[in-house]
Amino acid sequence: MSPAKTPMGAARGAIIPVGGAEEKMSDARILRRFVGLCGGQEAKIAVIATASQLADTGDRYEALFTELGAGRVRSLPFETRADCDNPELLDKLVRATGVFMTGGNQLRLATTLGGTDVARTIRTLNAAGVPVAGTSAGAAFLSEHMIAHGEDGAVPRANIVTLAPGLGLTNRVVIDQHFRQRDRLGRLLTALAYNPFAIGVGLDEDTAAFIGPDETLEVVGSGGVTIVDCSNVEYSSMDQVGDHEAVCLIGLRMHILTAGATFNLHTRIATAPHAVAAPS
């Protein structure tokens, strides 16, 4: 799936993958910033908890966003593909000024929403300026190429990753989540060895990448974002190795970004956080 065409005169809404386990109480900076982008007290946020197997996930995010000052929050029960054709639910979705997809199982998102009016509506909303965020499984689903599942470890190995079509809000990145906590560098590198045109974005927990309409990614949260750029790869052995054999990659470029740092997905230039003056 490719991004929807941005209407003339409009700017695409922010795309916000979150690495999972975002702080929800004492310092909910990621969720608070999302609410602000959606309009604050005027916000109408649609929560999509399709990925989760827990019955109260949507209700919990309704309460969280309401506590953070959102004007109206609704959890929309897209539990089956038939639900995705429900005109009443679609009418509520199309009125949203922000969309948030929860964690769980990204394949459940792909197999339930993929190819439906819900997916098309979310792409159209984002192209018209509506922010779309996803945490954990919801983050993985945002891009065109989605890591469905894979094995942990630091070394890329052939066939340790299964890729599937995602929502398609952007085709520039491959996203992985719970990155440092679950040792997922190897599977992200493997996914990029299959798709070297893409940029790898590995999100630690309680960390988000706010990708603006100018294709600049800004880090928000307490952890790091690992950026892997394959544009200058000189050699890859992916086409030569057998199942689970290690893959040789030469010429990768990697950045570890923390809060306030940026990376432009078009120019592929990283910028450090603004320097903070030392106390006098």
pLDDT at residue 16 is higher than 90: yes
Alpha helical stretches, state H, 8-152: 29-38, 57-67, 87-94, 106-113, 117-127, 137-140
How far apart (Å, rounded) are the C-alpha atoms in residues 194 and 161? 10
pLDDT at residue 45 is higher than 90: yes
Averaged pLDDT for residues 163-169:
98
Of the candidates 52, 75, 136, 236, the residue annotated as catalytic is 136
All structural domains of the chain: 15-259 (3.40.50.880)
Active site residue 205: yes
Model pLDDT for residues 184-201, shown as the tens digit of each residue? 999 999 999 999 999 999
Active site residue 231: no
pLDDT at residue 149 is higher than 90: yes
> In one letter, which amino acid is 236?
S
Model pLDDT for residues 102-115, shown as the tens digit of each residue? 999 999 999 999 99
pLDDT at position 9, please?
Answer: 86
Residue % of the chain over a pLDDT of 90: 95
Averaged pLDDT for residues 258-271:
98
pLDDT at position 60, please?
Answer: 98
Model pLDDT for residues 112-141, shown as the tens digit of each residue? 999 999 999 999 999 999 999 999 999 999
Rg (CA), the chain: 18
Calculate the CA dihedral of residues 129, 18, 109, 68 and round it to 10 degrees. -70
SS3 at position 187: helix
Active site residue 136: yes
Q: Which two tokens stand for residue 217?
A: 């990614």
Of the candidates 22, 62, 144, 205, the residue annotated as catalytic is 205
Of the candidates 62, 145, 178, 218, the residue annotated as catalytic is 178
pLDDT at position 10, please?
Answer: 87
- Which one-letter DSSP state was computed for residue 84? G
Q: Which two tokens stand for residue 103?
A: 């964690």
Q: Which two tokens stand for residue 156?
A: 């890329």
